[in-house]
Structure 1
Amino acid sequence: MSEKQNEKVYDLSFFMPGQTVETEEIKVPISKRFVDKKGNVIPFVFKAITTERIDELEKENTNYKNVKGRGRVKELDSQRFYARIAVESTVYPDFRSKELRDAYKTPDPVEVAKRVLSVGGEYANWLNKAIEINGFEDDPEDLEAAVKN
């Protein structure tokens, strides 16, 4: 048997443009404080953002410092980076909306989110959910188990 016959052939068609499943919007209650007129908790709506956009956000939230003996050092403002991912992943409420930014008297959507989610646990829940939705908390072992099943 030649070496060529021994090679496994993998089907790459699954990875071609247009073959992936579109990311879905996910509704998640973040706080019990936000209720509709009937008293039902209003869920936040999230949707994952693209890898390209995450790369842009990382660049926007990276600073460079001159450190003696080490030269120019790259420093990521990780709090701001994850907050920006959360803002962009949150479909509803839209913290970027002019209406909310005007109401909270700030041009910064991250500040709007902090003011809306003024109880510390709410803000942390929101950040964690956005990070999870964007795949940052996918456990490689869980992904392996999904492949086996």
Structure 2
Amino acid sequence: MSDLQDFLMDSFEDAEVIERKVSLGGKDKVMKFKSISATTGDEIRKSCRKTTFHKGQRIVETDQDAFVAKLITETTVFPDFKSQELQQSWGVLGAENLLNAMKAKMKDGEYATLSNIVSEINGYNKTMDDLVEEAKN
């Protein structure tokens, strides 16, 4: 039987920084990542939503590309996409603009790999079987 102690604030762990070797621009680079909170994830999703009305019906769409870009910039600790020095070296302003500038120099598969790493670190990669197995334990 579970104990209430499992849900007290002290029993929740802070996200740790995870180092991964990633191939970007044809070269291996060491990057550091830290998962975001569910609250931050909600804020990112909301910022990527667009609401339209069609025949009186409210339609809410999420720009998946914008969501992934913001997820990458928020999850990546190193390099810091918010770094003014890094943005200046690429001639851009803003974290997402820096990522887009870097993306232009990456192979498509490299960006997909980066996206997959960030998704995994934030817990989006778990299959239903994985979730069922976790629930059993």
Structure 2 match to 1:80: 66
Give the share of equivalent positions with the same residue, in percent: 29
SS in structure 2 at match of 1:73: strand
2:88 to 77, 88, 102: 102
Cα distance between partner residues in 2 of 1:33 and 1:27 = 18
**Structural mapping, 1:1-149, within 5 Å:** 10-31=2-23, 33=25, 41-67=28-54, 69-117=55-103, 118-146=106-134, 148=136
**Structure with the bigger percentage of helix:** 2
Any runs of at least 4 consecutive aligned residues in structure 1 with deviations exceeding 6 A, and if so which? Answer: none
Any conservation in 2 of the 1:26–1:46 contact (CA below 8 Å)? yes
Larger RCO: Structure 1 or Structure 2 (Cα < 8 Å, ≥ 6 residues apart)? Answer: 2
Which one-letter code corresponds to 2:59 in the other structure?
A: V
Structure 1 unaligned runs (5+)? 1-8, 36-40
SS in 2 for 1:65: strand
Gaps of 5+ in 2: none
| TM-score, length of structure 2 as denominator length | 0.85
Tell me, yes or no, if the aligned pair for 2:23 and 2:110 is still in contact at 8 Å. Answer: yes
By how many angstroms is 1:42 displaced? 2.8
* Conserved 8 A contact 1:114-1:123: no
Judge conservation of contact 2:81–2:95 (CA < 8 Å) in 1.
yes
Q: Which amino acid aligns with 2:18?
A: I
Is the radius of gyration larger for structure 1 or structure 2?
1
Task: Give the number of aligned pairs.
Answer: 135
The code of the aligned residue for 1:144 comes to V
